[in-house]
Structure 1
Amino acid sequence: MRFGNDGPISSSRMVRRRKPLPEDHKWKAKSRWCVGGHTDPDTGSLTTYSPTPQGEGMMAFMQTSLNLGHRFSFTDVRNAFCQSDKLVRPRGPIYASPCEGLGLPEGALIAIDVPVYGLDDAPAAWRTTVVRHLIDEMGYVRNLVEPCWFMKFEESSEGKKKNVSQILLEVDDFIVTALPSHEAEVERRLRERFHFGKWERNEAEYAGRRVRVLHDRILVDQGKYIREQVRPVPLEKTRKQDKKSPLLKEEFEMLRSCIYKIPWLAKESRPEMAGLASIMASRLTVATIEDVMTVNKCVNHLNNTADRAITLWKFVPDEMSFVVVTDAGGITTRPGEEDEMGLPVDATQGAWAVIATSHLPTGRERVKGSLLAWRSSKLKRKVFSSFGGEAQAMLQGINEVDWLQVMVRDAVIHDVQLRDWRNSLSPHMLVLRGECQLHGRQQQCSVTDAKSLFDCILKENPQGRQDRKAALELAIVVKDLQETRSFVRWTPHQKNIVDSLTKIDPLKGNGAMEDFLKSGILSLVDVKEELENRASDPRFRRRSHSASVARLLQEHQNDYMTLWSTLIWGNCEVVLEVFGGLLRAIDQRDM
Structure 2
Amino acid sequence: MDLEDIQAYVQAVEKEAKSWQDWGSVKALSHAEAQKVLRDQVLSKRILRTRSCFRDKSKGLAKLSAKCRVVALGHKDPDIYRLNRECATTNRTSEHVHFVVLTAGSNGEFGTSKKRWHGWSVDASTAFLQGDLSDAERSLPLYILPPNDGVTALTQCWKAPLYLVCTNIYGLRTKTVVTDSGAAPDSQLISIIIVYVDDFLGAYRSDYDVTEVHKAFKWGALQNFEVGKTVTFKGKQITLRQRANHRYYLHVSQVEFIGGMASGKIPRGSKLDEPLTPAQRAEFRSVTGCLQWVAGQSRPELSAVNSLSNHGGATTLSDLEALYEAVDFAAATKENGFVIPDIPVTKASIVITFSDASWANAENCRSQCGVLVLLCGPSVLEKPSPAMLLDWRSSRTQRVCRSTLAAEASAADEGCDRGAYVNMFLSELLFNEPAHKVTPRLSQLAVTDAKSLYDCVISDNPNLTDKRSLVNVRAIQEVVPGSNFHWVPTFLMWADGLTKASKELQQSLHEWLQCPKVTLRAQTS
The TM-score normalised by the length of structure 2 is 0.82
Q: Match for residue 238 of structure 1? A: 269
Q: Match for residue 274 of structure 1? A: 303
The answer to whether structure 1 residue 180 and structure 2 residue 199 are counterparts is no
Q: Taking structure 1 as reference, are residues 246 and 25 closer, same or farther at Cα in structure 2, changes over 3 Å only? A: farther
Q: Taking structure 1 as reference, are residues 294 and 375 closer, same or farther at Cα in structure 2, changes over 3 Å only? A: same
1:67-91: per-residue Cα shift (whole Å, max 9, x none)? 2331000011100111113453523
Aligned partner (choices 415, 439, 448) of residue 432 of structure 1: 448
User: What does residue range 468-483 of structure 1 map to in structure 2 within 5 Å?
Assistant: 468-482=467-481
* Cα distance in structure 2, aligned partners of 1:24 and 1:456: 58
Q: Unaligned 5+ residue runs, structure 2?
A: 1-27, 38-42, 105-109, 111-115, 243-247
Question: Would you say the 8 A contact 2:29–2:160 is kept in 1?
Answer: no
Q: Match for residue 165 of structure 2? A: 112
* Cα distance in structure 2, aligned partners of 1:377 and 1:260: 15
Aligned partner (choices 301, 314, 319) of residue 342 of structure 2: 314
Aligned-partner residue type, residue 252 of structure 2: V
* Cα distance in structure 2, aligned partners of 1:486 and 1:223: 42
The answer to whether structure 1 residue 293 and structure 2 residue 321 are counterparts is yes
Question: Would you say the 8 A contact 2:349–2:378 is kept in 1?
Answer: yes
Q: Secondary structure in 1 aligned to 2:65?
A: strand
Aligned-partner residue type, residue 70 of structure 1: W
Q: Match for residue 214 of structure 2? A: 191
Question: Would you say the 8 A contact 2:361–2:368 is kept in 1?
Answer: no
Q: State the 1:237 CA deviation.
A: 1.1
Q: Match for residue 205 of structure 1? A: 232
Question: Would you say the 8 A contact 1:169–1:175 is kept in 2?
Answer: yes
Q: Taking structure 1 as reference, are residues 53 and 24 closer, same or farther at Cα in structure 2, changes over 3 Å only? A: farther
Q: Secondary structure in 2 aligned to 1:154?
A: coil
1:101-157: per-residue Cα shift (whole Å, max 9, x none)? 164576611221111111122xx2x12xx23xx4xxxxx0xxxxxxxxxxx11133x
Q: Taking structure 1 as reference, are residues 305 and 511 closer, same or farther at Cα in structure 2, changes over 3 Å only? A: closer
* Cα distance in structure 2, aligned partners of 1:180 and 1:26: 40
* Cα distance in structure 1, aligned partners of 2:299 and 2:413: 23
User: What does residue range 146-545 of structure 1 map to in structure 2 within 5 Å?
Assistant: 152-156=182-186, 161-182=187-208, 185-186=209-210, 188-202=211-225, 203-215=230-242, 216-228=248-260, 230-239=261-270, 242-281=271-310, 283-318=311-346, 319-333=348-362, 345-362=364-381, 365-416=383-434, 418-419=436-437, 421-422=439-440, 425-433=441-449, 448-450=450-452, 453-465=453-465, 467-482=466-481, 487-503=484-500, 505-509=501-505, 511-524=507-520, 526=522
Question: Would you say the 8 A contact 2:129–2:169 is kept in 1?
Answer: yes
Q: State the 1:515 CA deviation.
A: 2.6
Q: Taking structure 1 as reference, are residues 414 and 477 closer, same or farther at Cα in structure 2, changes over 3 Å only? A: same
Question: Would you say the 8 A contact 1:346–1:378 is kept in 2?
Answer: no
The answer to whether structure 1 residue 31 and structure 2 residue 68 are counterparts is yes
Q: Secondary structure in 1 aligned to 2:290?
A: helix
The answer to whether structure 1 residue 78 and structure 2 residue 107 are counterparts is no
Q: State the 1:417 CA deviation.
A: 5.4
Q: Match for residue 18 of structure 2? A: none
Q: Unaligned 5+ residue runs, structure 1?
A: 135-139, 141-151, 338-344, 434-447, 530-561, 563-591
1:375-429: per-residue Cα shift (whole Å, max 9, x none)? 011112321111111111111101111100111111122135525614xx22122
Q: Taking structure 1 as reference, are residues 301 and 511 closer, same or farther at Cα in structure 2, changes over 3 Å only? A: closer
Q: Match for residue 25 of structure 2? A: none
* Cα distance in structure 2, aligned partners of 1:74 and 1:350: 35
Q: Secondary structure in 2 aligned to 1:44?
A: coil
Question: Would you say the 8 A contact 1:72–1:213 is kept in 2?
Answer: no
Q: Taking structure 1 as reference, are residues 227 and 174 closer, same or farther at Cα in structure 2, changes over 3 Å only? A: same
Q: Taking structure 1 as reference, are residues 11 and 313 closer, same or farther at Cα in structure 2, changes over 3 Å only? A: same
Aligned partner (choices 52, 55, 59) of residue 92 of structure 2: 55
Question: Would you say the 8 A contact 1:24–1:224 is kept in 2?
Answer: no
Q: Match for residue 44 of structure 1? A: 81
Q: Secondary structure in 1 aligned to 2:392?
A: strand
Question: Would you say the 8 A contact 1:427–1:486 is kept in 2?
Answer: no
Q: Secondary structure in 2 aligned to 1:350?
A: strand
Q: State the 1:190 CA deviation.
A: 2.6
* CA RMSD across the alignment: 2.4
* Cα distance in structure 2, aligned partners of 1:456 and 1:233: 47
Q: Match for residue 569 of structure 1? A: none
1:549-584: per-residue Cα shift (whole Å, max 9, x none)? xxxxxxxxxxxxx9xxxxxxxxxxxxxxxxxxxxxx
Aligned-partner residue type, residue 309 of structure 1: G
1:217-248: per-residue Cα shift (whole Å, max 9, x none)? 111111110111x2223322122xx1111112
Q: Match for residue 95 of structure 1? A: 143
Deviates more, 1:106-115 or 1:34-43: 106-115
Q: Match for residue 547 of structure 1? A: none
Q: Match for residue 9 of structure 1? A: 47
* Cα distance in structure 1, aligned partners of 2:64 and 2:337: 24
Q: Taking structure 1 as reference, are residues 412 and 96 closer, same or farther at Cα in structure 2, changes over 3 Å only? A: same
* Cα distance in structure 2, aligned partners of 1:24 and 1:311: 30
Aligned-partner residue type, residue 429 of structure 1: L
* Cα distance in structure 1, aligned partners of 2:62 and 2:503: 28
Q: Secondary structure in 1 aligned to 2:375?
A: strand
* Cα distance in structure 1, aligned partners of 2:337 and 2:454: 35
Q: Taking structure 1 as reference, are residues 171 and 411 closer, same or farther at Cα in structure 2, changes over 3 Å only? A: same
* Cα distance in structure 1, aligned partners of 2:330 and 2:64: 23
Aligned-partner residue type, residue 472 of structure 2: E
Q: Secondary structure in 2 aligned to 1:246?
A: coil
Question: Would you say the 8 A contact 1:233–1:258 is kept in 2?
Answer: no
* Cα distance in structure 2, aligned partners of 1:278 and 1:491: 26
Q: State the 1:355 CA deviation.
A: 1.2
Aligned-partner residue type, residue 91 of structure 1: S
* Cα distance in structure 2, aligned partners of 1:11 and 1:171: 24
Q: State the 1:293 CA deviation.
A: 1.2
Q: State the 1:24 CA deviation.
A: 8.2
Q: State the 1:326 CA deviation.
A: 0.4
Aligned-partner residue type, residue 190 of structure 2: V
* Cα distance in structure 1, aligned partners of 2:353 and 2:206: 33
Q: Secondary structure in 1 aligned to 2:286?
A: helix
Aligned-partner residue type, residue 178 of structure 1: Y
Q: State the 1:37 CA deviation.
A: 0.5
Q: Taking structure 1 as reference, are residues 373 and 26 closer, same or farther at Cα in structure 2, changes over 3 Å only? A: farther
Question: Would you say the 8 A contact 1:64–1:411 is kept in 2?
Answer: no
**Count of residues in correspondence between the two structures:** 461
Question: Would you say the 8 A contact 1:247–1:289 is kept in 2?
Answer: yes
Q: State the 1:261 CA deviation.
A: 1.2
Q: State the 1:294 CA deviation.
A: 0.8
Between the aligned residues of both structures, percent identity stands at: 19
Greater helix share, 1 or 2? 1
* Cα distance in structure 2, aligned partners of 1:284 and 1:237: 24
